[in-house]
Each structure stands twice: as structure tokens, then as C-alpha cells.
Amino acid sequence: MISESVSVDRQARLLDGRPIAAALRDETADRLDRFRAETGMVPGLAIVLATADPASQVYSDRLVKTGRKLGFDCRVEAVEPATPATVHARIERLNRDDSVDGILVQMPLPAPMSVTDIATVISPQKDVDGISSVNVGRVAMGFPAFPPATPLGGFELLRRYGIPIAGQYCVVVGRSNVVGRPFASLMLGANATVTICHRRTPDLARFTRQADIVALAAGQPGLLTGDMIKPGAIVVDFGTTPTDDGLKGDADFESVARVASWLTPVPGGTGPMTNVVVLRQTLEAAFLRRGLQEE
């Protein structure tokens, strides 16, 4: 097998999200100081929590803590009971609230609600998590936008590690509106050639084996194994599935690390980028809403 023959001398380097996220936090804190000096105001982020899911609670608390440390005014807006009407009403109130620059609606929403229920409600100017149809559409058209935070974090990771994108062949596994599809748009915007695979793609390996860059957003632990990529490929894993063994990405880490040249660890790869991207976009929204340029 090809993967066996290269396994002897190749070990993937890690696309470690932690130092890059730390650098982004520092940059954001500096820019926030400038915003405060220019406006005398503090940028505000409201997190809408419409679920009792403990993982969502933990995620919200972590975002609030990070945001406050950097100088943001962060608050959690719990919606109880959560129905389409109450969630809509809360988002509309926050759309009008002048102290709020960014709105993040915590996913997953309680069934039967889904992201499509709020994609047209949230103001695109405050949509710092990039879930609104306007922002997803603008990203697809290559216009300035707030891209969805998770795929933008992965994209930033590639850029900050100096991974070439233009002219590269990128295969994205997963076509969700919050990860796979917008990541494909970002890569296309950076002049990669892009294929999107999904649940109905027969013979996934036929595509992934050709790719210079494989992006995984399927939520299927172990979906990509080392024999499914070409030697030296770059693998960006957005998968974060909780298992008895901890969080698992979509890549089978051991076998992929023997063949890839760069690989995101899970946890610690694309994950740490998401919060700081949300905060950076909140600051950008605050500048834009006041007609100021960030730099």
C-alpha cells in the first residue's frame, strides 16, 4: 500500500490552532484599545442561548470569559421557553439594541428549530458568526462579509501557517451551510480548485486521493484514513464528535498523520480559532456600524 511505503519517513506537522488563536486574541485586544480610544465605547456581544444542552452552556461560558478578558461587553441571553416566536423576538430586540454589535445564536437550536429558522432574522451587520443567508451568500459571491466563524477559523489557520491555496486542489467533505459549503467558498475565493463531497458521493476516496488539501466537515469520526490521501496532502479537520474517548475529528489521526504533510489535531486545531474569530468579527462590526475603518 502506498501509505505504508511512505510511513517510514513522513510524519505530518501539526496545524496547531492554539498559538495562532493566542496571536489573534492579542491582535484583537490591541484593536479593541483603539476602538475604545476613538469612540469611548466598548463593543458588545450577545449570545442567544435557546437550549439547555450542557455543551452549549459550556461553550457560551467560555466565549463570555474570553470576550470579557479582551475587553468586550459579553452577555448571555437565555430564551426560555424557546419557540420560534420567542427566539425570533429576542433576536429582533437585539438587532435594535444599540449596545449590541454582534449576535451569536448558540447551536444546535432545540428541535424542530434549525439554523434556517433564524438565517433571515438576524441582522447581517450584527451576524458575527456568519450564519445569515446574506453573509453566506455574500461569501459565495466573493463580497466582503462576515463569513461563518468555524470555516473562517480553519481558513485563517492555513493562511497563518503559510500553506499555499491558490492553484491547489481542495476537496471538502460535507456540505452544511455552516461549515462545508462556506469553507468551499472561501477556498474558491482564494483561487483553489474545489470539489464538495457529501453523504451521497460514491467512492469518497476517489476524490480525496487527488486533493492537495482535504477539509473534513462530516461529523463522522475516522471517515478519512491514511490510504485515502496522497502523500504530502494537507488535512484540515473540522469534525468534533464527542465519544467515550474524548472529542474526535473526522480523520483517523494515526494513519493520516503518517501520510499527510500537515494535519490539524482534534482538539486543538480548528476548534480554538472559532471563538476568537467571533470576537474579532464583533469588533469589526462595531467599527463598521460607526462608520469607522478598522485599520
Contacts to ligand ADP by CB under 6 A: 173-176, 178-180, 197-199, 201, 204, 217-220, 223
Give the Cβ contact number of residue 144 at 10 Å.
8
Contacts of 256 (CB under 8 A, 6+ apart): 12, 224, 225, 226, 229, 235, 263
> How far apart, in whole angstroms, are the C-alpha atoms of residue 185 and residue 192?
10
Q: How far is the CB of 151 from ligand ADP (least distance, A)?
A: 9
Q: Which is nearer to ligand ADP, 77 or 250 (CB)?
A: 250
Grid cell for residue 41: 465605547
Q: Which is nearer to ligand ADP, 100 or 266 (CB)?
A: 266
Q: How far is the CB of 240 from ligand ADP (least distance, A)?
A: 8
Q: Which is nearer to ligand ADP, 157 or 217 (CB)?
A: 217
Determine what percent of the chain falls in helix, strand and coil, rounding each to the nearest 5: 45, 15, 40
> How far apart, in whole angstroms, are the C-alpha atoms of residue 75 and residue 67?
10
Q: How far is the CB of 232 from ligand ADP (least distance, A)?
A: 23
Residue in the structure block whose three cell numbers are 470569559 = 65
> How far apart, in whole angstroms, are the C-alpha atoms of residue 90 and residue 77?
8
> How far apart, in whole angstroms, are the C-alpha atoms of residue 77 and residue 98?
15
Q: Which is nearer to ligand ADP, 72 or 207 (CB)?
A: 207
Closest CA to 280 of 16, 30, 18, 15: 30
Q: How far is the CB of 229 from ligand ADP (least distance, A)?
A: 14
Q: How far is the CB of 241 from ligand ADP (least distance, A)?
A: 9
Q: Which is nearer to ligand ADP, 237 or 284 (CB)?
A: 237
Q: Which is nearer to ligand ADP, 29 or 204 (CB)?
A: 204
Residue nearest to ligand ADP (CB): 176
* SS3 category, 15: coil
Q: How far is the CB of 187 from ligand ADP (least distance, A)?
A: 15
